[in-house]
Structure 1
Amino acid sequence: MLDRSGWESQLLETGFLGIFLCPLWTLSRLPQHTPPSSIVIWGFRWLIFRIMLGAGLIKIRGDRCWRELTCMDYHYETQPVPNPIAYFMHRSPWWFHQFETLVNHFIELVVPFFLLLGRRMCIVHGLLQILFQVLLIISGNLSFLNWLTMVPSIACFDDASLAFLFSSRRGGLRERVARMQLEESAREQLPLRYGCYVRRVVNVSFGLLIAYLSIPVVLNLLNSRQVMNTSFNPLRIVNTYGAFGSITKERTEVILQGTSSLDPNDPAAVWEEYDFKCKPGDLKRRPCFITPYHYRLDWLMWFAAFQTYEQNEWIIHLAGKLLAQEEETLSLMATNPFAGRAPPRWIRGEHFKYKFSRPGGKHASEGRWWIRKRIGPYFPPVNLQGLKKFYEDRNWPYPVRD
């Protein structure tokens, strides 16, 4: 599964590297004195190398289905927030799923080493990695993670390989870059100015820092007990990454239900369901397509579904806010079954197993994208008064009904 903070660490590291791409003495969008240091460019290449190799190694070490080439039999259905394309990809034949898994291993375990094989193979690496991320974007809603992963891959391309993107008209960006390169080449024959000395010192110091912070990261990659999405320094400048080290074979969902009944145990009590914005709930609702946007609450509900509510106390916190009909919390939901009415007296969590319906089958013909089967209660009915001590013990602000 993907760590809850993996994308934040990657964003921090990518942003830190981006600082050193900027011109040191000017705010111009094009550096007037020197191009970005090769040390910075290799910093980005080192980042994409660790992201992909870490993801590949954690899969091989973490779940036997990756070694048996069967993980893709489950992935589309059980990923955090499936999209409509995943619905159809899930029904691909077994041999296609095996082919997908082999391609995944090739991209994550073999292609990263293309970075070390010269300019042309480095460009091939960048193309393959960007194409791979595009395929992941098409087949799933993994927030902005795939878009962010494309950023360091851009460092695999040099000016010559990207020249076709820029205008060739006189005075265009391509000519400006070429003119700057000629000026830079001439300046290299002149004594270095003070600013160039400072820049070189900064770049060398930056390279030494990255190398030093990479030591525990490399040791982790070589360790058979590799951990993923972990940082060994408080600023998260150089981190270790990985994704889907284990694949859940069945999809379970927590469905929140409310009732206005005085007695939650009354067999006649009517329980109405809250729907989230994107995660599976209503069986007839089409899976959403939101990438690169990220519904964090929907994502966290995916984690909660294969854990217990004791491991996810925040879900009881959420129930209390729904009982109080807090507007900020309700804005995170797709539907409020008690809109325009008195708030519910009780909220409970029910645990269901979800599966994609079969395209063209009975359930699909009825408009159902999902079929489900109840597993049992996830957390028992709770009311606002009964949660007061629960909130106080954790120093949480007690929700008050409007």
Structure 2
Amino acid sequence: MSDRSGWESQLLETGFLGIFLCPLWTLSRLPKRTPPSCIVLWGYRWLIFRIMLGAGLIKIRGDRCWRDLTCMDYHYETQPVPNPLAYYMHRSPGWFHQFETLVNHFIELVVPFFLFLGRRLCIAHGALQILFQVLLILSGNLSFLNWLTIVPSIACFDDASLSFLFSSEKGGVKTQVMEIQANEDAEGNEPPLPYGCYIRRVVNVSFGILIAFLSIPVVVNLLSSQQIMNTSFNSLRIVNTYGAFGSITKERTEVILQGTSSLDPNDPAAIWEEYQFKCKPGDLNRRPCLISPYHYRLDWLMWFAAFQTYEQNEWIIHLAGKLLAEEKEILSLLAFNPFEGRQPPRWVRGEHFKYKFSRPGGKHAADGKWWIRKRIGPYFPPVDLKGLRKYFKARNWPYPAQN
């Protein structure tokens, strides 16, 4: 089963590991006899290892620009939903973009192996991965993906490395942990464990065996020259393969949806008005948005549709039908409906444009434009509700009814 983003699979795997992280039968803030299982902690480390190494390998095996260090020349402008910082980062000098690409390769291809090289390098791995994710959060709108990737990185730290986060006051968590550790170090001071702890150990060992078994096809995929990213090899989807940006688009194209009240869509005098999405580029004067960790899935799907055809994305015709009917649920996904308070449009069409960032301090930026664009041509022809009836019926889609 393949998933374009892999976020759902990563969220599922992260949450599944969390089930086994805490004891089941106690609500104690610091249960003395049931510390987090080392197997689960290594499960999280194995997860971050696969996420980062998978992302690094898919890049180095994929688009040539990752090997010649030019991908970052395009990434900020062509990523799914750029944010304000990306506008300025795009204009960084070429040597800086090359440095960014080298750092990316180091973080994704070298640093993951720090996990297996002792405590200090394991902690360094966690710190570097969290820093890397923070930089990605600042420079892009990749939804909750980067925030989610921070979670398994926390498993790289032990109590000593995190102790500075807690107060040293008497009776505090830090003091309690130190007392527990001191008692454990004292010879002959360990009381017999209750049966529940042995049951938990059996469950954790069984869980570890399951993870190891399900990891076999994942490891084979990582070693394969035909690596597949964001794929599950089991129906449970709890041990997956990950990857991101194996290829980079060199130009940004956008699908702009427009509507008109004209009786004849081919009339040169017809006035076409544009719908605006909540975050994706459209209005040239609108500043790139900042939405992370939130996710506008429709905006993201429009990015995919822009470098494909509407025949490959039939859902966009479905969307056009909903806009013609002015269904409230669909309009709630948009930032601006040009026909609000008026009669619905008679026709909706998709236009294809090439978008580029304006140059900071340049002529277009001085006019308040964050983007400049050039029309490529039609994306899909004008459609009306009557003409879409057969199209919807052939696909067993509910025919949209006007409110």
What is the aligned-residue identity percentage?
A: 83
Cα distance in 2, alignment partners of residues 165 and 376 from structure 1: 57
Cα distance in 2, alignment partners of residues 272 and 347 from structure 1: 9
C-alpha displacement at 1:340, in angstroms? 0.6
SS at match of 1:156: coil
C-alpha displacement at 1:38, in angstroms? 0.7
Q: 1:3 to 1:103 in 2, by over 3 A?
A: farther
Residues 124-139 of structure 1: matches in 2 within 5 Å? Answer: 124-139=124-139
Residues 213-292 of structure 1: matches in 2 within 5 Å? Answer: 213-292=214-293
Cα distance in 2, alignment partners of residues 185 and 24 from structure 1: 26
C-alpha displacement at 1:256, in angstroms? 0.1
Cα distance in 2, alignment partners of residues 29 and 391 from structure 1: 55
Cα distance in 2, alignment partners of residues 70 and 149 from structure 1: 25
CA contact (8 A) 1:23 1:30 kept: no
SS at match of 2:43: helix
Question: Counterpart of 1:43?
Answer: 43
Cα distance in 1, alignment partners of residues 184 and 8 from structure 2: 37
CA contact (8 A) 1:51 1:240 kept: yes
Cα distance in 2, alignment partners of residues 164 and 93 from structure 1: 39
Cα distance in 1, alignment partners of residues 69 and 277 from structure 2: 33
Residues 101-180 of structure 1: matches in 2 within 5 Å? Answer: 101-180=101-180
CA contact (8 A) 2:184 2:190 kept: no
SS at match of 1:310: coil
Question: Counterpart of 1:306?
Answer: 307
**Does residue 294 of structure 1 match 2:295?**
yes
Output the amino acid matched with 1:40: V
Output the amino acid matched with 1:90: H
C-alpha displacement at 1:194, in angstroms? 1.2
Q: 1:25 to 1:185 in 2, by over 3 A?
A: farther
Question: Counterpart of 2:341?
Answer: 340
Q: How many residues align?
A: 401
SS at match of 1:13: helix
Higher mean C-alpha displacement, 349-358 vs 32-41: 32-41
Cα distance in 2, alignment partners of residues 181 and 72 from structure 1: 47
C-alpha displacement at 1:102, in angstroms? 0.2
C-alpha displacement at 1:188, in angstroms? 7.5
Output the amino acid matched with 1:156: C
Cα distance in 1, alignment partners of residues 394 and 30 from structure 2: 55
CA contact (8 A) 2:107 2:129 kept: yes
**Does residue 326 of structure 1 match 2:327?**
yes
Cα distance in 2, alignment partners of residues 386 and 372 from structure 1: 31
Cα distance in 2, alignment partners of residues 22 and 364 from structure 1: 53
C-alpha displacement at 1:183, in angstroms? 5.2
Cα distance in 2, alignment partners of residues 177 and 189 from structure 1: 15
CA deviations 1:323-345 (Å, max 9, x no partner) are 01111111110100001100000
SS at match of 1:280: coil
Question: Counterpart of 2:19?
Answer: 19
SS at match of 2:335: coil
CA deviations 1:36-93 (Å, max 9, x no partner) are 1111110000000000000000000011000000000000000000001000000000
Cα distance in 2, alignment partners of residues 184 and 374 from structure 1: 71
Cα distance in 1, alignment partners of residues 189 and 393 from structure 2: 67
Cα distance in 1, alignment partners of residues 27 and 64 from structure 2: 51
Question: Counterpart of 1:63?
Answer: 63
Question: Counterpart of 1:81?
Answer: 81
Output the amino acid matched with 1:20: F
Higher mean C-alpha displacement, 347-356 vs 385-394: 385-394
SS at match of 1:347: strand
Higher mean C-alpha displacement, 363-372 vs 174-183: 174-183
Question: Counterpart of 1:377?
Answer: 378
Q: 1:138 to 1:227 in 2, by over 3 A?
A: same
Cα distance in 1, alignment partners of residues 314 and 235 from structure 2: 26
SS at match of 1:375: strand
C-alpha displacement at 1:32, in angstroms? 3.8
SS at match of 2:361: coil
Cα distance in 2, alignment partners of residues 377 and 3 from structure 1: 29
Question: Counterpart of 1:354?
Answer: 355
The answer for unaligned runs of 5 or more in structure 1 is: none
**Does residue 365 of structure 1 match 2:334?**
no
TM-score when normalising by structure 2: 0.97
Output the amino acid matched with 1:369: W
Cα distance in 1, alignment partners of residues 233 and 210 from structure 2: 13
The answer for unaligned runs of 5 or more in structure 2 is: none
Cα distance in 2, alignment partners of residues 163 and 223 from structure 1: 41
SS at match of 1:350: strand
C-alpha displacement at 1:182, in angstroms? 4.4
Cα distance in 2, alignment partners of residues 28 and 193 from structure 1: 16
C-alpha displacement at 1:185, in angstroms? 5.7
Q: 1:29 to 1:396 in 2, by over 3 A?
A: farther
Q: 1:29 to 1:385 in 2, by over 3 A?
A: farther
CA deviations 1:315-374 (Å, max 9, x no partner) are 111101110111111111010000110000000000000000011111111110000000
CA contact (8 A) 1:33 1:184 kept: no
Cα distance in 2, alignment partners of residues 205 and 300 from structure 1: 39
CA deviations 1:232-255 (Å, max 9, x no partner) are 011110000000000000000000
SS at match of 2:277: coil
Q: 1:189 to 1:176 in 2, by over 3 A?
A: closer
Cα distance in 2, alignment partners of residues 386 and 31 from structure 1: 66
